Structure 1
């Protein structure tokens, strides 16, 4: 009896050693598996032509399925910048709808001169088939100024010079010092200088061009591809008699300068 019990213990020990060895081999191979019951086969589709849903296997009921996300949209490419309006011109009327500008001792206001000349210039250009926008002056700190992003075939700011310096005479034209297209703006300046001198007979006074002209605020606001310049029509003190008597010639000079530029002369 004792020998039989001893034999049974030896058999049990060998079985445990064998099972442990198999577990060790399986663990080392990284493929430890536990037998599971085979899933119940899914039911076959009904053959009666109905659309009853298929039965779901119990073994797969809790397994999440991967749902592909939406295909990323293609990157949007900005369209090329539209061409400049060929027949549109902007006239920025100095101090209009903002303040009086310089004021002479007898009450003559710069804004009255610039408005009159701008209206006459518009009439001449419209008679030549152009569309003309009159743009008001404004406080550069006002949000969304009327010149913000303005685009045209050309823009000319019209101003008149001080009534405080006796003995000064003439006109002057300038463009933005930091222009993105200096050669184009220079051509507009040259056209205005030549045409205005021819129409008015006034001399150029480039020595008095100031930072207020070549760094004029509107130049920083308009579209970067809009050619632009600023003109000081005359000195309201030294050229007063001319300013009072020759507003048409002043307007004609501005209009001819713009036409010269647009026609590529």
Structure 2
């Protein structure tokens, strides 16, 4: 697996605020530039290294790394300067070195010797969860086609394509049925399948709009102030009073996740999955790209793995709605979805 340093773009101008980060086999290195006559002290508290700086500007930061040794770090103002807290992963140790000309503090975090020399176990097979939205009592959007029928067919086609590439696929439903007569319970049961035993989760839906609209859009979990997206989330979360309640619950989760480093790392991977999936589906179909966005969808609110919700098109659009009823177009959508998933898995971003 290849790890990527997340949320680093655009931060180089912060100087002391942002340490330089490098990785080698079994090691992550953070280098802090120390201005003037500033002083520092270090201590370890559980899985955290605390670095207290005096004589430096006050800083507020929260950065994700997710290397094999380091989860990330955060900084907050403290009397006379700032305090940085570096969160280490299990089975690591660290050492520090102070350098001069220019002044720097080097923090090296190493995997344990046992971890570095232990023979690598065979990587578990990726497990992809495909969630055809709605079904049974809930037909979803209805236009030239019914959402529940379109998304199930696309999910079954995608399943076959992924299995042909050696990927294990789990479907939340494989026929025209609901998981529970209670919509809240139904969504909760689907969401529960996005657990750490699986690799990624894709919920498949189709759109409808009062005004003519077409194209593919992909979402990952998060907050939004766009009223259109809130209304859409309410509809997908059950509609009416139930949809409003579940959407508010999901928004509360989104706000809590902002302070959780591991959750933020997972959302970053979800964003990458969304981008790769949209790109592949648009390339395969020639459909309009409506972009990647965040919204508080209940079904992906508690995902412990990269999770997205895909809207494959508009069932009531005069041309796209009719295309969604054809075997040829559904095959193209499934091909694009499978290729996007494979591109994500092959990139090394999947958290296994």
Q: Same fold (TM over 0.5)?
A: yes
Q: Unaligned 5+ residue runs, structure 1? A: 1-78
Is residue 154 from structure 1 mapped to residue 200 from structure 2 by the alignment? yes
Look up the match of 1:244. Answer: 325
**Which of these residues, 168, 171, 174, is aligned with residue 134 of structure 1?**
171
Look up the match of 2:63. Answer: none
Look up the match of 1:259. Answer: 342
Counterparts of 1:104-183 in structure 2, within 5 Å, are 104=143, 108-136=145-173, 139-141=183-185, 145-148=189-192, 150-151=194-195, 152-162=198-208, 164-177=209-222, 178=254, 180=263, 181-183=266-268
Change over 3 Å in CA distance of 1:160–1:143 after alignment to 2: closer
Structure 1 or 2: more helix by fraction: 1
Change over 3 Å in CA distance of 1:258–1:98 after alignment to 2: farther
Look up the match of 1:204. Answer: 289
> Counterparts of 1:150 and 1:250 in 2: how far apart (Å)?
22
Q: 2:218, 2:274 within 8 Å by CA — same for their partners in 1?
A: yes
Question: How far apart are 1:143 and its partner, in Å?
Answer: 9.8
Question: How far apart are 1:141 and its partner, in Å?
Answer: 3.8
Change over 3 Å in CA distance of 1:96–1:221 after alignment to 2: farther
Question: How far apart are 1:221 and its partner, in Å?
Answer: 3.8
Equivalences, count: 176
Is residue 94 from structure 1 mapped to residue 177 from structure 2 by the alignment? no
**Which of these residues, 278, 298, 316, is aligned with residue 193 of structure 1?**
278
> Counterparts of 1:146 and 1:121 in 2: how far apart (Å)?
18
Q: 1:85, 1:153 within 8 Å by CA — same for their partners in 2?
A: no
Structure 1 or 2: more strand by fraction: 2
Q: 2:128, 2:167 within 8 Å by CA — same for their partners in 1?
A: yes
> Counterparts of 1:185 and 1:143 in 2: how far apart (Å)?
19
Q: Which runs of 4+ in 1 moved over 6 A?
A: none
Question: How far apart are 1:155 and its partner, in Å?
Answer: 0.7
Name the SS for the 1:125 alignment partner.
Answer: helix
Change over 3 Å in CA distance of 1:166–1:146 after alignment to 2: closer
> Counterparts of 2:300 and 2:184 in 1: how far apart (Å)?
11
Question: How far apart are 1:147 and its partner, in Å?
Answer: 3.1
RMSD: 2.8
Rg larger for: 1
For normalisation by structure 1, the TM-score amounts to 0.59
Look up the match of 1:54. Answer: none
Change over 3 Å in CA distance of 1:237–1:173 after alignment to 2: same
> Counterparts of 2:212 and 2:193 in 1: how far apart (Å)?
39
> Counterparts of 1:185 and 1:242 in 2: how far apart (Å)?
28
